[in-house]
Structure 1
């Protein structure tokens, strides 16, 4: 099904996020590549958000202690792979990496999506909000309310998540227990079309609007889209 969604609370269509992301001063100071874990605390909105910077070797490590923290990932490949090929990502949901030549259109979806399409959307600046299919309708509507037409957001259910709600951007991810957790909004303001976007200004429409994880949904490659036309 094509992406749909209600009007979001952050201004007119396409205005989300409502302010440019703020650079975190000193974020690159004192980082030791390898086994050392550096925790930075950013005070925002009256609360604290912890940022974990992980080396590529341990970037896929999951822990219950990671709930509510922003996990960072570096040295992510951005290669295109053939449509239909399965990419073995180091973290799930993925936070960047190899992907299909066609991106997933930003929007709200009622069915799971193929990661390799959405990772391409993330390369263009989108944040992918995934949620447990067992989440209540009220909780799902809270998540969907963040989207306005034109926003660089992809919202969909996903199986076997490490938390009820997971938001992923290129190079970062936050896992949350509650759809109403205010840290989700903080994350979106920081990372939607944020400073780590590999291809700023690239489109998040005109790609794949189909659903499903096999690449055969309506509008998917193999259903009328010529992948050779996509070079972003």
Structure 2
């Protein structure tokens, strides 16, 4: 026999006792008894609604976390390469002329906020122009985010690097993932994403607000030079 410590009622087995606790004493249960009742409620009649809702909430959070983890390229990588080693070092104040001399610079197309409006950019990937209120956080992405949000990231001082999916080497991916992981501030982030063009101008296109560098053979020193020159120096809130 099992006796209820809340009211003294007796039961033939623990299952009936736990059913009674859930039905009659749900508001009185301490944390240990609550966990026992929740664990025993495998059938619809015996499962307290609080436990059901808590389980559903945990499931939703888990699914969203897994989706975002893989969307941003956080999992499932088996790269046969390591980063170059400079990705976590402090940036020089300026980029080396070997690379910066190759950078193309364009006039700004404005910085107006047009939330929800699809923007027809003069060039793709865009380097400036109207954009949405949201922006893209630092990370290595396996699907290209909205251009309207990437432009807002550029305005924040981000460096957005586009790669040709068909020509991305393990060495380049390892390095680019490291750049994105180590440069993740809101006002000086590195965002890496697939090039949206079917026929990209180069295997890697480095962009900042009104600036672009196109390279075919990946070189971590090129990224370092470009980031040193432009990262954190967007028009909205320059921090370097």
* Superposition TM-score, scaled by structure 2 size: 0.57
Return the match for 1:73 from 106, 112, 117: 106
CA contact (8 A) 1:104 1:117 kept: yes
Q: CA deviation at 1:50?
A: 5.6
| Structure 1: gaps (5+ residues) | 23-43, 52-68, 203-232
Give the alignment partner of residue 20 of structure 1, picking from 93, 101, 104. 93
Give distance in 2, aligned partners of 1:89 and 1:102: 17
Q: 2:202 aligns with which of 163, 168, 172?
A: 163
Please tell me whether the aligned partners of residues 163 and 177 of structure 1 are also in contact (alpha carbons under 8 angstroms).
yes
Aligned length: 156
Q: Evaluate the alpha carbon distance shift between residue 8 and residue 125 of structure 1 in structure 2; reply closer, same or farther with a 3 A threshold.
A: farther
Matches of residues 145-224 of structure 1 in structure 2 within 5 Å?
Answer: 145-149=178-182, 150-151=184-185, 152-160=189-197, 161-180=200-219, 182-194=221-233, 197-200=234-237
TM-score, normalised relative to structure 1? 0.58
1:124 positional shift = 0.5
Task: Say yes or no: does 1:144 pair with 2:217.
Answer: no
2:140 and 2:176 in contact (8 A); partners too: no
Q: Which has the higher contact order (CA 8 A, sep 6+)?
A: 1
SS in 2 for 1:187: helix
CA spacing shift, 1:136–1:10, aligned 2, 3 Å = closer
Deviation at 1:4, TM superposition (A): 5.9
SS of residue matched to 2:224: helix
**Distance of 1:86 and 1:183 partners within structure 2:** 32
Q: C-alpha distance in 2, partners of 1:136/1:50?
A: 23
Gaps of 5+ in 2: 1-67, 75-81
Aligned to 1:175, the other structure's residue is in SS state strand
Aligned-partner Cα distance in 2 for 1:198–1:92? 20
Alignment partners' CA distance in 1, 2:121 and 2:112: 13
Residues 15-94 of structure 1: pairs in structure 2 closer than 5 A: 18-21=91-94, 44=96, 48-49=98-99, 51=101, 69-83=102-116, 85-94=117-126
Deviation (angstroms), 1:179: 1.6
1:120 corresponds in structure 2 to: 152
Question: How big is each residue's C-alpha offset from its partner over 1:192-211, in whole Å with a ceiling of 9 and x where there is no partner?
Answer: 113xx111258xxxxxxxxx
